[in-house]
Amino acid sequence: MALVSASRIVPILLLGFLALAALVHGLIGKKNQTFDGVVVQDFTTYEFYPNAKDCNYRGTPYVLLPNERFHEVVTASADTDHIDRLLHGTWRAKLNGNLSAVGWHRYRKNYWRELSVNYVVDAVGMSCGGSQLTPPEHKTVPVDWKVELAKAKAGIEKNPKSAFWHNQAGLAYDALGDFETAVKELKLACTLDPSDPMNYYSLYALYKRKSMRPEQRQVLLDALEIDPNNPLGRFRLHP
Compute the distance between CA of residue 72 and CA of residue 111 in angstroms, rounded to an integer. 25
Least confident piece of the model among 6-15, 50-59, 160-169: 6-15
pLDDT digits (tens, 9 = 90+) for 21-56: 444 444 567 888 999 999 988 777 889 999 998 888
pLDDT score of 103: 74
Residue range 155-161: mean pLDDT, rounded: 93
Compute the distance between CA of residue 36 and CA of residue 142 in angstroms, rounded to an integer. 30
Least confident piece of the model among 25-29, 83-87, 121-125, 145-149: 25-29
**What confidence category does residue 14 fall into, taking pLDDT thresholds of 50, 70 and 90?**
low
* Pairing, β 114-126 against β 62-65: parallel
**What confidence category does residue 232 fall into, taking pLDDT thresholds of 50, 70 and 90?**
low
Percent of the chain with pLDDT over 70: 70
Residue range 112-130: mean pLDDT, rounded: 81
Per-residue H/E/C for the chain: CCCCCHHHHHHHHHHHHHHHHHHHHHHCCEEEEEEEEEEEEECCEEEEEECCCCCCCCCCCEEEECCHHHHHHCHHHCCCCCHHHHCEEEEEEEEEEEECCCCCEECCCEECCEEEEEEEEEEEEECCCCCCCCCCCCCCCCCCHHHHHHHHHHHHHHCCCCHHHHHHHHHHHHHCCCHHHHHHHHHHHHHHCCCCHHHHHHHHHHHHHCCCHHHHHHHHHHHHHHCCCCHHHHHHHCC
pLDDT digits (tens, 9 = 90+) for 43-97: 778 899 999 988 888 888 888 888 877 877 776 555 555 555 667 788 998 999 9
pLDDT digits (tens, 9 = 90+) for 178-216: 999 999 999 999 999 988 888 888 888 888 888 888 888
User: Does residue 205 contact residue 87 with C-beta atoms inside 8 Å?
Assistant: yes
Residue range 138-156: mean pLDDT, rounded: 78
Residue 1, pLDDT > 60, answer no
Closest CA to 209 of 57, 59, 83, 29: 83
Q: What is the CA angle 126-129-132, rounded to 5?
A: 80
Residue 5, pLDDT > 60, answer no
Residue 219, pLDDT > 70, answer yes
